[in-house]
Chains A and B, each alone.
Chain A
Amino acid sequence: MMATGVTPRRFAAASLWVGIALIAVSIYFFLASVTLISPPAQAVVAALLSAVIGFVMLSAGTTLVRTYVVARVVEQNPK
């Protein structure tokens, strides 16, 4: 079997894109929370819930991106 000479990536870039997608969704929820309290809308409770969902999504997304960045640095310098 012929060796390709290319080291397979153990940490997929999918985590980076999923993290970015989660951050984008969190921004959507933050904007939605602003829309929900902008006149004439007065859905304050729904806006608060939307902001909380945005914070959770942002936390998850940035954690994924951060872990991807750290793992990539380790992968590039295995020794």
Chain B
Amino acid sequence: MADEEPPALSAIARFTTRDALFYYALVLPAFVAEAVFTVSIASTPGDLISLNSSFGPLFADLAQILPVVFLGLSAYAVFSFRLSLLVTLLIASFLVAMSVANGMSILGVGLNLEATVILVVAATFLALAAFNYSRSVKLMGERLPEVNSAGSAGYNVVSIALESLVPFGAAVGLVLLVEAIVAAVGVQASHLPQPLSTLTSLYLQTRVGLVFTTLFVAGAAIWVIRQSIEPVILHFTLKASDAKKELLGEIEPTTKSVRKMIRYRPSGGIAWGAIAIAYSAGIAISLAYFLPHGQFLRDLSSVLSLRPPAPSNTELLLDNAFQNGIVKADILFAQSQDYIREIIRLVWG
């Protein structure tokens, strides 16, 4: 006897199940963060709008609709399960808000840079958890997952720690490490030789510089963690078939270049001969078309009879004009050299 198919849910019922509501709750912080960032951009666009510029009013209008556009795209990302789009929108709104907005607040409480970074990191992690949850719900369907463990309680503790506590601890540790390194960079900038010291200090005083430095340091820290952990994880999880694919992928650039070298056959030079003939014919036709009437034929006959052609008045004028142009270019080049030397002398002494 065949299993009975579960009754099909309506569109509204599908999006309001208990799992769906849990999924919405997990992505809600990302929505709130985006709303805070985009509203602050729209209310205090700052340097984004230059009133003297012809595009100023256009940017002002675009800034006003920014919250609606970002939240609309985020809703699309949530309902179509596109995590990368949601996180990209969150980071983009965060960067723009840090660069141009003059102040941010949530429920009347002002947000400084540290609080904003924590909000973004927490919202991103919760969004990741939401997408993982939704994926597991989609994969499992109506079936119940087997979560019983036959091992001792210690294994369960280790399993829970690896799944939940280690990523959370790593995230918190990463935030603290990045904050310490960025603070150290700010202090060490004053010890650099001039003009690097002034340039670095000015760069770190800007919000954009601080944000990009933070992102760079965080990226480097994540890269180090990934490089250190990846071989260990591969050692315990890699299957032979995947390992072969990995190895083939590593030598693929070399094999491609070797195949290309083997396939290479030197041409007989016919193509280059045809190009040279076509080029010469093009020059001859151009000269015949642009030179004064009969000039081309006169010059050609002079060349063939090995006599120097007598330049026409037009040619003399053109020749003088070209000579003047060359002299002018030489003067400009010499002046630009002097300018560059002066800049180098001012900057590096």
Partner-B contacts on A (CB < 8 A)? 23, 37, 42, 44-45, 47, 55, 58-59, 62, 65-67, 69-71, 73-74, 76-77
User: Which parts of B216-247 form the interface with A (CB within 8 Å)?
Assistant: 220, 224, 227-228, 230-231, 234-235, 238-240, 243-244, 246-247
Complex Cα spacing A77 to B67, Å:
55
Q: Is the CB of A62 within 8 A of B243?
A: no
Q: Is the CB of A74 within 8 A of B184?
A: no
Q: Is the CB of A73 within 8 A of B228?
A: no
- B192 cross-chain contacts in A, Cβ below 8 A: 44-45
Q: With contacts A42-B191, A45-B192 known, is A67 near B240, CB below 8 A?
A: no
Q: Is the CB of B238 within 8 A of A70?
A: yes
Residues 189-230 of chain B: 1 if any A CB is under 8 Å from the residue's CB, otherwise 0? 101110000000000000000000000000010001001101
- B50 cross-chain contacts in A, Cβ below 8 A: none
Q: Is the CB of A69 within 8 A of B227?
A: no
Q: Is B4 engaged at the interface, CB distance under 8 Å to the other chain?
A: no
Q: Is the CB of B244 within 8 A of A67?
A: no
Complex Cα spacing A44 to B235, Å:
38
Name the CB-closest residue of B to A77. Answer: B240
Q: Is the CB of A76 within 8 A of B227?
A: no
Q: Is the CB of A58 within 8 A of B191?
A: no
- A76 cross-chain contacts in B, Cβ below 8 A: 240
Q: Is B5 engaged at the interface, CB distance under 8 Å to the other chain?
A: no
- The 18 listed contacts between A and B (C-beta, < 8 Å) are A23-B228, A37-B188, A37-B191, A44-B189, A44-B191, A45-B193, A47-B188, A58-B224, A59-B227, A62-B230, A62-B231, A69-B234, A70-B238, A70-B243, A73-B238, A73-B239, A73-B243, A76-B240
Partner-A contacts on B (CB < 8 A)? 184, 188-189, 191-193, 220, 224, 227-228, 230-231, 234-235, 238-240, 243-244, 246-247, 250
Complex Cα spacing A74 to B247, Å:
9
Q: Is the CB of A70 within 8 A of B240?
A: no
Chain A's interface: helix, strand, loop or mixed, by majority? helix
Q: With contacts A37-B188, A44-B188, A74-B240 known, is A69 near B247, CB below 8 A?
A: no
In whole Å, how far is A37's beta carbon from the nearest beta carbon of chain B? Answer: 5
In whole Å, how far is A49's beta carbon from the nearest beta carbon of chain B? Answer: 13
Name the CB-closest residue of A to B233. Answer: A69
Complex Cα spacing A47 to B189, Å:
12
Q: Is the CB of A69 within 8 A of B188?
A: no
Known: A37-B188, A69-B238, A70-B243. 14 other contacts (CB 8 A): A37-B191, A42-B191, A44-B188, A45-B192, A45-B193, A59-B227, A62-B227, A62-B231, A66-B230, A67-B247, A70-B246, A73-B238, A74-B240, A76-B240
Complex Cα spacing A71 to B231, Å:
12
Complex Cα spacing A73 to B234, Å:
9
Complex Cα spacing A44 to B239, Å:
45
Q: Is the CB of A58 within 8 A of B227?
A: yes
In whole Å, how far is A70's beta carbon from the nearest beta carbon of chain B? Answer: 5
- A71 cross-chain contacts in B, Cβ below 8 A: 243, 247
Of B189, B193, B224, B234, which is within 8 A of A70 by CB? B234
- B193 cross-chain contacts in A, Cβ below 8 A: 45
- A58 cross-chain contacts in B, Cβ below 8 A: 224, 227-228
In whole Å, how far is A20's beta carbon from the nearest beta carbon of chain B? Answer: 10
Complex Cα spacing A42 to B189, Å:
10
- B238 cross-chain contacts in A, Cβ below 8 A: 69-70, 73
- A67 cross-chain contacts in B, Cβ below 8 A: 247, 250
Q: With contacts A73-B240, A73-B243, A74-B244 known, is A66 near B188, CB below 8 A?
A: no
Q: With contacts A69-B238, A70-B238, A73-B240 known, is A62 near B247, CB below 8 A?
A: no
Q: Is the CB of A70 within 8 A of B247?
A: yes
- A42 cross-chain contacts in B, Cβ below 8 A: 191
Q: Is the CB of B184 within 8 A of A37?
A: yes
- A69 cross-chain contacts in B, Cβ below 8 A: 231, 234-235, 238
